[in-house]
Amino acid sequence: MTSQQVLPRHVAIIMDGNGRWAKKRFLPRLLGHKAGVKAIERTVRAADAMGIECLSLYAFSTENWKRPEKEVSGLLSIFRFVLRRKVEEMKQKNVRLRFSGFRDGMPKDVVELMEWAEEETRSNTGLTLVPCLNYGGRQEVLHAVEKLLVAGAEPPLTEDAFRQFLYLPDLPDPDLIVRTSGEKRLSNFWLWQSSYSELYFTDTLWPDFDGKELENAVTYFANRERRYGALK
């Protein structure tokens, strides 16, 4: 990547392939998720060094509750461990933590940790890191509509007015969405916000993702011509 390349303001990543990474190595799926945490650490460092403003990570979808109870419990334990251990480091590195997703239904102690992490890093001015926990794009839109109805909003309704009822209304839309492991779909991620996102797919399994992979995705983005529906 050269200094002349245009950086995406917000990079969003669908972190896919932890289970397949573990299976290839004859390891339990949970060890794949733990390896995925290391990939998150590498990617956060790389995004921060590049000067990317916002990095969002699809960490746990609303559909993930359907996974085996043991795996879900293990994922929640990893979230707890990472939050307790990494917030101080993020404070020192000027990284701000914000979470997107529906908090009702999440374990109370996990929600309390999320709120604590957000408050501890609120004044940081560097990279904004947005883990999406219990997140679903359709669910977010439905919740926004519910809030609109409660607020008594009347037509005509503008996009800017609707945006105010999303989970993080001030978050910039993702310029670039990256999906790992060779799958080529959004899987209910940032459905409202992804209208004009560039999409980048890599066969790399998430635990093997690193700064070089992120650089490849950003270089792809820099070479795209973004038209927003206009003629060339």
Q: C-alpha angle with apex 226: 161 to 219, nearest 5 degrees?
A: 120
How much is the mean pLDDT over the chain? 94
CA 157 → CA 150, 160, 162, 173, distances in Å?
Answer: 15, 8, 7, 19
**153 band by pLDDT with thresholds 50, 70 and 90:** confident
Q: According to the model, what pLDDT value does residue 229 have?
A: 57
Q: According to the model, what pLDDT value does residue 155 have?
A: 86
Q: What is the pTM of this model?
A: 0.94
CATH numbers and ranges of domains, the chain: 10-222 (3.40.1180.10)
| Residues with catalytic function | 16, 64
Q: According to the model, what pLDDT value does residue 105 have?
A: 84
Q: According to the model, what pLDDT value does residue 147 have?
A: 95
> For 184-203, what is the mean pLDDT?
97
Distance, in Å, from the CA atom of 206 to the CA atom of 229, rounded to the nearest integer, reads 32
**154 band by pLDDT with thresholds 50, 70 and 90:** confident
Q: What's phi and psi for 207, nearest 5 deg?
A: -60, -15
- For residue 84, the SS3 value is helix
Nearest to 31 by CA among 66, 69, 65, 75: 75
Q: According to the model, what pLDDT value does residue 116 have?
A: 97
Name the residue with tokens 């080529």.
184
| DSSP strand pairing (96-97 vs 10-14) | unpaired
